[in-house]
Every structure is written in structure tokens, then in C-alpha cells.
Structure 1
């Protein structure tokens, strides 16, 4: 991956709706070579997909909750039930398996505490959990989907 590929990625992470002509001009290429580079980045899995990023508040999703989960069961059957249950809940928008004290971290977006409680109840119906701890975001300081490109080799 060269400097032009990184610049294409930087621009696309900023605004994936840029036209091919505008993107090509911004990186000093004509549209055809720029398009080929984008196709290659997609084929290699560097660009996984292009999405619209919505404003959660304008969709009445003003409460962001980070939930840490601990389990006493560390087996494939439990994990599959947990993954199936958690991924089926649309309000759970991110799930991470962790090292350290907590086993999982979930990011949940809902309108209010009552809706969070509803998500919590759906989650605990899917599997037995040892401990669930919730932290409600008071303010978003930084939120980006853009990945740093300084480490590409």
C-alpha cells in the first residue's frame, strides 16, 4: 500500500460519499486508476464496506451505555448462546471479548433507562451471567470510525 492508497483511505474514511471524480482529483489521479485502487483495496478486505453514519440523537437514541460482563462459564456452548443472544439485540451495537477482569464489553444505544432495562432483561434471558456492570455515557468527547493510517506497511 503506497501513499496514494493511504490518502484515498483517509478521504474515504472522512466522507465515503465523495464522487470518484472528486476523490481522484484530491489524490492527483484520473478516475480510472483511482477506481482500480479502490477495487483492489476492497478485494484485499482493507475496505470492508461503506455505510451511512447516523446521528443517534436524531434517531431518539440519546443514551449510550457501556456494559461489562463477567461469566463463570468459559466454554464453547455458553459462548455461542451469548453471541447468538447478544447479536440478536439491535440496540447492542458493539461487542468485544476482553482480557482482564471483565469478559465482554458491550456498547448499547437506547432512548432512555427504561429501554436499557428492556435490553438488559433480553440479554439475561439468553445466558447466565456472573456479573453485569453498566456505565452511562454523560458526554461524547471523541467518536470516530476513521482508523489511523500511520501504521500501514
Structure 2
């Protein structure tokens, strides 16, 4: 499903804004009746365009007041190290995102923890779990913009 038509893009955009909307409401927004809209949603899910539906939560209200971005330099780039690193990062629920990067750092992690004490414990557990050449931490002071919705083009092309 490489090229989504206008209706599919509108459906995806509507679901990214609010996945709790009833299908009938989404159908109205995109100009379809309920059954064809539901079939398109199922098709988008089976094609992997829609990968899940979740509730978004405020990290501060859940006790995760500290967001840290960690830059990692790998000691080597072997398949064995990458596998060990992937298993290690998967085992830490505080590590919310992991990206393999191009440039000065090899990996970028987004971590959510309650405070500096928890971060220090995570740091120690992570560096004990996998060899790392260099680890640089950047502490977020304020989240100024956050979105999970991609800017899908919902205009007719």
C-alpha cells in the first residue's frame, strides 16, 4: 500500500488526531458511509499503515518528570554488539525510543524516569549490560511541542 488515496489519508489523519472516534464519525469526516470506512480502516491495519491504537498519557502526572536524551557511541559495529544492545534496551521499559543514527553518535535514546536518582540507576544498569564507548546525556527542561500525528497531506492532489 505505497500510495494512499485521499480518503485513506483522511482516515489516517482522523485516527491520528483521535483514535477513539466512532467509525460513523470518521466516515462522516471523509465522505463515506460506515461500512466502506470500516473496511478501509481494516485494510490500512492489515497493510501495516496503522500499527496500533493507544491512549496518550501525561508523563508528569504518571510520575515520569524527567526526560533524558542519551547519545551512545558504540565500541564496535558488529552484529553481536548490535544484538546485545538491542536486547539490553528492550529490557528497560524506561527507554521509550531507540534510533540508530548517522553522524557523531551511533544511537539516540529517549528515556523517561521519575528523577535523577532513577536516571543514575538506569545509567549504571545500562552500562553494566552492554559495553559502550561513550554515553552523553541531555536533560529536557521543558517539552515545548509534542505530537504523535504525522503531517499527512489531506488535500486532493
Q: Does 1:84 align with 2:108?
A: no
Counterpart check, 1:9 vs 2:30: no
Q: What is residue 66 of structure 1 aligned with on the other side? A: 69
Q: Which residue of 2 aligns with 1:100?
A: 103
CA distance in 2, matches of 1:80, 1:33: 43
Q: Distance in 1 between matches of 2:129 and 2:151?
A: 36
TM-score, normalised to structure 1, is: 0.95
Gaps of 5+ in 2: none
Number of corresponding residues? 152
1:47-104 CA-partner distances (Å, limit 9, x unpaired): 0111111110110001000000002211011111111011100000000011111010
Deviation at 1:112, TM superposition (A): 0.4
**In structure 1, distance between residues paired with 2:114 and 2:147:** 21
2: CA distance, partners of 1:72 / 1:115: 25
> Which of 24, 27, 32 is the equivalent residue of 1:29?
32
Bigger relative CO (Cα 8 Å, ≥ 6 apart): 2
Per the alignment, in what secondary structure is the counterpart of residue 35 of structure 2? helix
- Root-mean-square deviation (Å): 1.4
Q: Which runs of 5+ in 1 are unaligned?
A: none
Q: Secondary structure in 2 aligned to 1:141?
A: coil
